[in-house]
Structure 1
Amino acid sequence: MASPLGHAQPTGLLQDRLLALAGTPDHSFRIGTDLIVVAQLAAKLITAVDCCSVTSRDAGAYATVAASDDLAVAVDQAQYEDKAGPCLEALEAHYPAAVPDIAATVTWPGFRDTAARFGLTTSLSIPLFAGSGTTIAALNLYSRRAGALSTLTTAVWAAYDPDTTDHWDHDALDAGARELTAGLISAVAVRTMIQRAIAVLSADGAGPGHGYPVLCDRAAKTGTSLTETAAQVIEQHQP
């Protein structure tokens, strides 16, 4: 069953939500809503995607916290039961996990058999992170069209590794996929800035591991986002 959301023209909301997520404290009540909206927008905007979901951890177990339809939930569940699959790899290893040809994979048989039964041929799981920079969820994109996610996969890898030598064809992506890629590139840039601010605060006496709580506390006291607070910290420590 295809996504009931249909596909629409991008409005910038997906990019904005990914950027906002990167600057939101991990413990914020907004995180759950952000993940639901990201899943809804990805299914709605990216032409190659037939269904999608978001995997997160819940009380020590894996759970699908957002999905475009029941098909995506079933494919996720097969991975949870086996404790193996691309969505779990993206979540635990903190890098994108692509399956170009689901039918040919031997690594995750439970995922392969369930996805193939529903006619899915390819998938891409993308780690998502909030303010601490640690992966909090995985966005799982599933498609019935062979090779439909190949260019997007290359673009996503490039977003997570700015030093990569791989080139991707911007014009080969549909508008929704371009927006997703732009959002990930922006989010990674925000993460880099926040990590720099955390390092500065730790060096100022907060100590290793304490820079992030200090940054969160400053943001809460001033009523600003982590992104704005991090920028202020860096500016104040410019030589």
Structure 2
Amino acid sequence: MAESHGAVQDRHIRLFAEMARELLAQDTVDDVLQRISELAVETVKGCEAAGVMLLDRRRHTLETPAATHEFVRASDRAQFECDEGPCLDAARHEQSFRVDDMAAETRWPSYRPRAVELGVGSMLGFELYTHDSTLGALDLYSTRANAFGPDALEIGWAFASHAVVAIAAAQREATLRSGYETRQEIGEAVGIIMERRRLTSDQAFAVLRTASNNTNTKLREVARSVALTGEIPEI
């Protein structure tokens, strides 16, 4: 017996609530991205593999930090090399896409034959977030044509929307953790320089800053070196 529309909605609400709790419990941004990929396969009917593509507009680089299968990364590399493809479109233009039959697809003429060779039958893609100069997309794959049902795009979009919240939370936490660790390292290095050189805290910090400028090295890295080795840079 088929589920009623209300029952389906209730099931999806429970599913996304559980997903949100699980994602927010992950420790790092990379953990969140990997779990998003895994949950996409578990959640969206017809999805056999999934991954997250990140495109850096300033550096003109692409990476796939999370994927459930290696051919997802191979597909991303093919799109980057061809400078076209559905995942790139999702990231660049911040929109969702649907490919029901890759073999019959007329868009992306350079990428399409490579996708077919990789075994891609059908795809869904969703923009994930924009962070500084980085664009993101969540891409869902099947080796079969017409694998995704009529409601798959809507469900996938709701899934991606919940994923964005978890990603933003993980990024905020990572930024706070990084700032705290940086302050600790700088403070430890300043203390070492103050003791060794008999300097005030301002003078010791100036030593770090001058060494950073002279060597074109980030202040945090100079401080970390001092803290780890006890060696004070000559300026």
TM-score normalised according to structure 2 size: 0.53
Q: Measure, in 1, the Cα distance between the counterparts of 2:153 and 2:68.
A: 24
Q: Measure, in 1, the Cα distance between the counterparts of 2:145 and 2:110.
A: 20
Residue aligning to 1:117: 117
**Could you list the runs of 5+ residues in structure 1 that have no partner in the other structure?**
1-9, 22-28, 157-179, 195-215, 221-239
Q: Measure, in 2, the Cα distance between the counterparts of 1:57 and 1:75.
A: 14
Q: Measure, in 2, the Cα distance between the counterparts of 1:56 and 1:64.
A: 6
Amino acid at match of 1:137: G
**Residues 55-204 of structure 1 correspond to what in structure 2 (within 5 A)?**
55-58=53-56, 59-129=59-129, 136-155=135-154, 180-184=156-160, 186=162
Residue aligning to 2:212: none
Amino acid at match of 2:142: S
Q: Measure, in 1, the Cα distance between the counterparts of 2:33 and 2:43.
A: 15
Q: Measure, in 2, the Cα distance between the counterparts of 1:30 and 1:136.
A: 19
**Residues 12-23 of structure 1 correspond to what in structure 2 (within 5 A)?**
12-16=17-21
How far did 1:110 drift? 3.4
Q: Tell me if structure 2 keeps the 8 A contact 1:17–1:38.
A: no
Q: Secondary structure at the match of 1:140?
A: strand
Amino acid at match of 1:88: L
Q: CA RMSD in A?
A: 3.7
CA 1:108–1:56 in structure 2 vs 1: closer, same or farther (change >3 Å)?
Answer: same
Q: Measure, in 1, the Cα distance between the counterparts of 2:97 and 2:82.
A: 17
Deviations 1:81-100 (A, max 9, x none): 01110101000101102112
Q: Measure, in 2, the Cα distance between the counterparts of 1:152 and 1:111.
A: 26
Q: Tell me if structure 2 keeps the 8 A contact 1:100–1:122.
A: yes
Q: Secondary structure at the match of 1:109?
A: coil
Higher relative contact order at CA 8 Å, sep ≥6: structure 1 or structure 2?
1
Give aligned pairs, total: 155
Q: Secondary structure at the match of 1:72?
A: helix
CA 1:148–1:57 in structure 2 vs 1: closer, same or farther (change >3 Å)?
Answer: same
Which structure has the highest helix share of the two?
Answer: 2
Residue aligning to 2:52: 54
Q: Measure, in 1, the Cα distance between the counterparts of 2:148 and 2:21.
A: 22
Q: Percent identity?
A: 28
Q: Measure, in 2, the Cα distance between the counterparts of 1:93 and 1:108.
A: 15
Q: Secondary structure at the match of 2:114?
A: helix
Residue aligning to 1:40: 38
**Could you list the runs of 5+ residues in structure 2 that have no partner in the other structure?**
1-14, 177-235
Q: Tell me if structure 2 keeps the 8 A contact 1:127–1:135.
A: no
How far did 1:80 drift? 0.7
